Amino acid sequence: MAMAIAAISVVWTARGGAMAMTTTPGSAPIIVQLPQPRLDSGTSVEKALHGRRSIRDYRDEPLTLAEIGQLLWAAQGVTAPGGFRTAPSAGALYPLELYLAAGNVRDLAPGIYRYRPHSHTLIQLLPGDRRGELCSAALHQEAIRKAPAALVFSAVFARTTGKYGKRGVRYVHMDHGHAAENVYLQAVSLHLGTVVIGAFNDAAIKRVMSMHLEEEPLSILPVGRLRGTASKD
Ligand SMILES: Cc1cc2nc3c(=O)[nH]c(=O)nc-3n(C[C@H](O)[C@H](O)[C@H](O)COP(=O)(O)O)c2cc1C
C-alpha cells in the first residue's frame, strides 16, 4: 500500500508556538492525514468498561494507521463545529497536547509526531524509531519498547491556570484523566492493549518527544495487539 504521507508546502503555525522539526530549512513538514474515525463498533460502552485492564505485554505485530487514528481521535478528536472534543475540558480551554511515538505502524514512517485534532492529522517532529529512548526515559518500563506505538500526553498548564488560577492545575489533571480513560476504552473496542504510565523522567520525556518548553509531560500509553488473539488484517 502507498505511504499515506503528504508533504504540504505551507507555513504551519501551531497553537502552542513554533514547533521543533528536523526538516531541513526550506523543506515542507511531513503531514499525515489520518483515516476518518469510525463512529460505531460491536463493543458497547458497558463491555469496554468491563473489559478495560492495564496491559503491558503485546504481540510483535504492526498496528494500522486506522487504529492509531481511532485512538488519537478517542483521546482528543474534534466532534463538533465549535471545536468541542471527545473528552471534556474545563472551560473548553483544551490544555492537553498529544504525541505519538511510532515504531511499527503500517503506512507510517517511524518517528515522533504531534496530533492535530482540528485536521485529524499528524505532523512529524522527528524521524526514526524512538521507542528505546522513550523506554529509557520511563525508568526502563519494557511495555514501551515492546509496543508498536505509544501515545504521550502533555499539558500547557497556563491555558487553564490563566483563567482558573491555582485551581486550574487540578482541572488540567482532570482533563487528562478523562482523555486517558477514553484511550483505554477505545483500545478495548479495537481489541488492543494499553496501560497508562506515569512514572518517568520529565526532562528526558520532553527531550525525546520534542515537546515545547512550556509543556509538561503527563503520561505515556503504549498500545499493542493483545497476546492470544487472532491477528487483524
Ligand atoms: C496515574 C497513574 C499512573 C500509573 N503509572 C503506571 C506506571 O508508571 N507503570 C505501569 O505499569 N502502570 C501504571 N499505572 C497503571 C496502574 O498500575 C493500574 O491502573 C493498576 O494496577 C490497576 O490495574 P488496571 O488498570 O488493570 O485496573 C498507572 C495508573 C495511573 C492511574
The H or E element spanning position 126 is strand 121-127
Indicate whether 34 belongs to any domain. yes
What is the pLDDT, as a whole number, of residue 24?
57
Task: Write the CA distances from 107 to 3, 7, 36, 134, 214, integer angstroms.
Answer: 5, 15, 15, 22, 32
Q: Which CATH number goes with the domain that contains 47?
A: 3.40.109.10
Q: State which of 145, 196, 202, 218 you would mutate to test the pocket of ligand 1, scoring each by most atoms of that ligand within 8 A of its C-beta.
A: 196
Residue ID of nearest Cα to ligand 1 atom 1: 198
Domain assignment present for residue 177? The answer is yes
What residues line ligand 1, using a CB cutoff of 6 Å?
53-54, 56, 141, 195-199
Spatial separation of the C-alpha atoms in residues 77 and 115, rounded to whole Å: 9
Q: Is 22 part of any domain?
A: no
For residue 211, the model assigns a pLDDT of 98
Q: Which of 151, 195, 223, 226 has most ligand 1 atoms within 8 Å of its beta carbon, as the pocket-test mutant? A: 195
Taking only the tens place, the pLDDT of each residue in 23-77 is 456 689 999 999 999 999 999 999 999 999 999 999 999 999 999 999 999 999 9
Q: Specify if 109 maps to a domain.
A: yes
Instruction: Tell me whether residue 114 is in a domain.
Output: yes
Q: With a cut of 70, which residues of the chain have pLDDT below it?
A: 1-26, 229-233
Report which of 194, 191, 193, 211 is spatially closest to residue 202, judged by C-alpha positions. Answer: 211
Partners of 17 in the β-ladder? 14
Residue nearest atom 13 of ligand 1, based on CA coordinates:
197
Taking each helix axis as running N to C, give the angle between helix 167-189 and helix 65-76, from 0 to 180 degrees, rounded to the nearest 10: 150
User: Which structural domain range is residue 160 located in?
Assistant: 29-225
- What pLDDT is stored for residue 2 in this prediction? 36
Q: What type of residue sits at position 221?
A: L
Report if residue 147 sits inside a domain.
Answer: yes
Identify the helix (H) or strand (E) that includes residue 155: strand 149-155
pLDDT given at position 27? 80
Cα of 151 vs centre of ligand 1, distance in Å, is 15
Kindly report the protein residue whose alpha carbon is nearest to atom 6 of ligand 1: 197
Query: How far is it, in rounded angstroms, from Cα 35 to Cα 68?
Result: 9
Residue 116 lies in a domain: yes
Number of structural domains, the chain? 1
What pLDDT was estimated at residue 10? Answer: 30
CA 7 to ligand 1 centroid distance, Å: 38
Tell me, what's the pLDDT at 176? 99
Choosing from 54, 55, 218 the residue with most ligand 1 atoms within 8 A of its CB, the one to mutate for a pocket test is 54
Whether 59 is in a domain gets the answer yes
Contact (CB, 8 A) for 208 and 130: yes
Pairing of strands 111-116, 192-194: unpaired
